[in-house]
Each structure stands twice: as C-alpha cells, then as structure tokens.
Amino acid sequence: MAILKILTYPEKSLSQPSVKVNAITEDIKKLTCDMADTMFNAPGVGLAAPQVGVNKRIIIYNTNAANPDEDDSIQEFTALINPEIISGSGSIVSEKEACLSVVDYSADVKRYESVTVKALNIDGKKLKFDAKGILAIIMQHEIDHLDGILFIDRISVLKRTMYKKKIAKKIKDQ
C-alpha cells in the first residue's frame, strides 16, 4: 500500500469536525489499509483520517496495542467507520499521551477509564463494544480527532500555550 503524509499541528484542518461516511467503498477500504501502513511506519497505535488529510469519520488502531506481550512484528489493525463513544465511566490519567500530529510533545491527559463505542466495521457491520485501559484511551484520542480535538486541547492552558509558543518559534526559525 502507501505511506501517507501525517498532518501536524498547527494544520487548521486538524481542528475541523469530520463528516460521516455514507458508503464503504473500495476507496475507503484502500484508505484504511494506507492509514494502517502509515500508522505502523510512524510508529503509532492509532490514526484518524483527518490526520492524513481526509475529512471523514474513520479511525484505525493497532489491534494488539492493548496486549503488551504480543509480538511487535505482528501488524494487525482494526478499522472503525463512523465511531462514536456512547458512554464512559471511571477516570484515569493517560500518562505521557502523545500524538503523531503533535510532534515532540507528550502530556498527562484525564480520560474515561472505560468507554462503550458504536461503529461500523470495514464490511459495514454494526459494532458495539466496551473498551478499557489503553484501548479506551486510544478510542477517546482517535475519536477526538474526528471531532477536531487534539489531546493538547485537553491539557492546562499553561501547558498548551507553552507548546504552541514552542511550535511557533520552530516554524519561524525554519
């Protein structure tokens, strides 16, 4: 497949809500495979379509991300079309959460400990599942992308401002 360009902050399109996928076409299926190649190459554990410049409600994630004992060379992914978090419970701090679109930065982010997600799989079958721990964090992080939210939007104003100044200086110095 193909390695796609990952858009990075302050790209304005990353803050735009994504549109619903109306039909799962061959182009959508190819996109999910290209996204997976891109995610594994980066490397990351999840990727949302807006991160590669596609304004559609599609996410993919490393199927084995929640299993740290799994062989890292096994590259299996799951694609979710039009995913939504329909409920969340508990509270956990995602330590040193990072993002392929927010370069050279990580922060602690407060998240739900478990979430219930509904979506379509790549074959158009309706799914509803509970995610806990790292998978719950991945779901929240990637679905946030579909709503135009980056993890830095969920940290303190002070930390976010410091990051934005750092990026502005980096851009200016180029």
The residues annotated with a catalytic role in the active site are 142
Q: How far is CA 150 from CA 9, 13, 15, 51, 135, in A?
A: 9, 11, 7, 10, 17
Q: How far is CA 92 from CA 13, 108, 111, in A?
A: 29, 10, 5
Work out whether the CA dihedral 155, 40, 112, 17 comes out positive or negative. positive
Report the relative pairing of strands 126-132 and 114-120 from DSSP bridges: antiparallel
